[in-house]
Amino acid sequence: MHPTEKIVRQFHESWDMRDPERGAAVISEDCQFEDVARGESQIGPDGYRSDYERWRRAFPDGEVKVTNVIVDGDRAVVEFVNRGTHTGPLESSLGTFEPTGKRQETRYCSVMRVQDDMVVEGRDYYDAASIARQLGLVD
């Protein structure tokens, strides 16, 4: 396995393993990871941990399954599926959404750059409207 693939898999698979420290271990201190749909960025390992906890509160049974990794040198594209049941408050840039008890399953794509075995930048792309529809937050 290419070293870049190993790092990006560790980052994503830590969510499914419920081990945020495993993910934080491969994030550089100045890494800026942008959530394009929300228009927000998390900086470094602390930003990752905060985002992890936010999603884990909203979807305690949440899973992340990597379906494809494409590597070109220090860059990787990671496709994955995020699924879970909305049983906790979901905090977002649009406000806090109370639990709906509904399941959601959304396909994501992360574009990442790895340098010296650390994620130094990344962006997540996904359809936030699909999540909102599945949870019954919009028609």
- Model confidence band, residue 62 (pLDDT cutoffs 50, 70, 90): very high
Domain ranges (residues) in the chain: 3-134
The answer on pLDDT for 87 being more than 90 is: yes
Tell me the C-alpha to C-alpha distance, in Å, between residue 52 and each of 98, 113, 115, 133.
18, 20, 22, 22
pTM for the whole structure: 0.90
pLDDT at residue number 20: 94
d(CA 100, CA 112): 32
pLDDT at residue number 105: 97
d(CA 13, CA 26): 12
Side by side, the strands of the sheet bearing 40-43 are 40-43, 27-35, 118-126, 103-115, 75-85, 63-72
What percent of the chain is modeled with pLDDT above 70? 100
Q: Which CATH class is domain 3-134?
A: alpha beta
